[in-house]
Amino acid sequence: MAADAFVSLLNEQIAHEYAAHQQYVACAVYYDAETLPQLARFFYAQALEERDHAMMMVQYLIDADEDVIIPGVAAPQVAFADVVAPVTLALEQEKRVTAQINALAGVARSEGDYTSEQFMQWFIKEQVEEVAAMNDLLTVVTRAKDDIQYIEGYAAARPSADDPTAPTPAGA
């Protein structure tokens, strides 16, 4: 059984993860419309990853025999000034999610909910990788904003790999 305070925050985090999914879809659509297929592919993949994060949290709550709340989310930002703006937004979002994940782990620890704290450890590791990837991408798009082909080449070369240590998403 998970601590009540943790369950409440984890249900809120599910909403944040779904909102991140929607925002990344909006970023991908922007790049798709600008005929930047590699940046679009990168953000479509990021969107699916955020959706999976939400579903991992859903599965954890189901496994813990806790109530799951599937929330509605606000509409994402869909208009961007230039090729740099979606990545800037994405980096800000990843930093915000990192703070939220750390807060969840802190609540689990303070409540003596060591099972939930252990569950959050994978997300902590994941956020280090997410912030680093977005920071690198922002550096590249800022530096090369007038060289779209270079940016597309960088995005195409980004490796994508499944993490076998990841929690299982609900429905997988």
**pLDDT tens per residue across span 119-133:** 999 999 999 999 999
| Burial (0-12, 13-18, 19+ Cβ within 10 Å), 4 | exposed
Q: With contact defined as beta carbons under 8 Å apart, do 43 and 86 qualify? A: yes
At residue 74, the pLDDT reads 94
pLDDT at residue 165 in the model: 84
Contact 122, 165 (CB under 8 A): yes
Reported CATH class of domain 4-157: mainly alpha
> Percent of the chain at pLDDT above 90?
90
> Strand, helix or coil at 83?
coil
Residue 172 pLDDT > 80, yes or no? no
Per-residue model confidence (pLDDT) at position 171: 78
Q: What angle do CA 73, 91, 51 make, to 5 degrees?
A: 40
Integer Cα distance of 117 and 108 in angstroms: 5
Look at 23-32, 79-88, 97-106, 153-162 and tell me which has the smallest mean pLDDT.
153-162
- Mean pLDDT score, 2-10: 97
Average pLDDT, the chain: 95
Fill in the DSSP letter of residue 81. S
Q: How far apart are CA 54 and CA 10, in angstroms?
A: 9
Predicted local distance difference test score (pLDDT) of residue 160: 74
- Count CB-CB contacts under 10 A for residue 100: 16
pLDDT over threshold 90, residue 163: no
